[in-house]
Amino acid sequence: MIGAILTALFPVFALVVLGFACEKRGWLGQGAEPALTRFVAQLSLPVLTFVTLATIDPHGLEAPALIGVALGSSFAVYALVFVVERLLRSDASSANVTALSGSYSNSAFVGLPVCLVVLGPESLGPAAVVIALNAAFVFGWAVLAGELVQHRHGGLAAGSRAALRQVGTNPLIIGAVAGVLFALLGVQMPAALLSTLQTLGSATAACALVAIGMFMARPVERVRNQLAARGLLAKLVLHPLMAFAMLGLVPDMPAVWQATLVLMAAMPTAASAYVVGVQAGERGSRIAATLIVFSTLGAMVTLPVVLAVLGQSGLVALAD
């Protein structure tokens, strides 16, 4: 099991290090990092979100207990982190980025392979639902909140109108809404089109992680140790604990669903959180990049602990 976790986490580190080297050596030339970030935010991530949602089994969205725990744990952590950061005098944009980084798991790039290896193919269904919920609601809310925060100085009404205009034309939100509609209506895409979109979407993780490495190589302001520690504590400890606690409110949920929900919550911060960080400016970018990198490092320690707890709880049966 430990080998499966390390295998899933290794590409994250490798691509961040590659991006760091590219920036230090100038291998991709000037302006490469902003161009990669725009490619992810405007094209590959919206396409990935659309394909993920459009191809999900809509019956998976009829499991209220699964949806309740997945979204309930994420939004509870988001709200708690946001409030704490604001009480500690972080600006609203930074608080939004920190809250997202503490509640938005790398469920597709790291979580799915770990679940499949550790729990077996029975985890594919609930894992796909969690991935879709993350993309449509947790990430979508952070994008909306970021726009609201940026336009708040014009007054509530004017700020809300400006934010809604921005959200209405945001490729990420459009991709999520279109994907949900395709799934609910049962629209089948031609195989060639689906393959093209999947190929484009698959570039998201690699490009985002390389861009993060390039950004980390730049001499910019460091994130305060206390803020980083709070974000890491929220993502790697509070989030899985919240999911585990919420399972007690849901009787008769299949064991593999329980294990999948807790494991997905225990995953490190998703690389696409960097997109919301960029939206918030230089400081937001630094917060997101730092928490993505260090939560992935920290997951090497915390994920084996989570697996041990799951194995000893008697609620789940882990695959060999």
Only one residue has tokens 């949900």, namely 180
Whether the CB-CB separation of 139 and 272 falls below 8 Å is answered with yes
- Assign 3-state DSSP to the chain and report helix, strand, coil percentages, each to 5: 80, 0, 20
Residue type, 188: Q
Q: How far is CA 248 from CA 244, 255, 285, in A?
A: 7, 12, 36
* Token reading at 10: 């290794």
* Token reading at 61: 């969205």
The region, left, alpha or beta by phi > 0 then psi within -120 to 50, assigned to residue 222 is beta
Residue 166's pLDDT is: 63
User: Which residues have a Cβ under 8 Å from the Cβ of 320 and sit 6 or more positions away?
Assistant: none
Task: Kindly report the backbone phi and psi dihedral angles of residue 299, in degrees, each rounded to the nearest multiple of 5, phi listed first.
Answer: -65, -25
Give the DSSP letter of residue 61: G
Only one residue has tokens 């520690």, namely 229
Q: What is the pLDDT along the chain (320 residues), one digit of tens a residue?
A: 567 777 878 888 899 999 999 999 999 998 899 999 999 989 998 898 899 888 877 666 667 889 999 999 999 999 999 999 999 999 999 999 999 999 999 988 888 888 887 888 888 888 888 988 888 889 888 988 887 777 665 555 655 666 566 666 778 778 888 988 898 888 999 999 999 999 999 999 899 999 989 988 877 667 778 999 999 999 999 999 999 999 988 878 888 899 999 999 999 999 889 989 998 888 999 999 999 999 998 998 999 899 888 888 765 554 44
How many other C-beta atoms are found inside a 10 Å radius of the C-beta of residue 25? 9
Whether the CB-CB separation of 118 and 4 falls below 8 Å is answered with yes
Considering Cα of 23, then 29, then 35, then 36, what sign does the dihedral take? Answer: negative
Comparing C-alpha atoms, which of 159, 140, 138 is closest to residue 150? 159
The pTM score is 0.83
d(CA 173, CA 139): 9
Considering Cα of 153, then 174, then 139, then 58, what sign does the dihedral take? Answer: positive
Residue type, 210: V
Query: Rg for the chain (alpha carbons), in Å?
Result: 19
pLDDT in tens, 44-76: 988 988 998 888 776 666 678 899 999 999 999
Give the DSSP letter of residue 217: T
Task: Kindly report the backbone phi and psi dihedral angles of residue 55, in degrees, each rounded to the nearest multiple of 5, phi listed first.
Answer: -100, 5
pLDDT in tens, 235-293: 999 999 999 999 988 878 888 899 999 999 999 999 889 989 998 888 999 999 999 99
Q: How far is CA 223 from CA 98, 228, 271, in A?
A: 11, 7, 17
What is the CATH code of the structural domain delimited by 2-25+43-313? Answer: 1.20.1530.20
Comparing C-alpha atoms, which of 171, 113, 139, 89 is closest to residue 271? 139
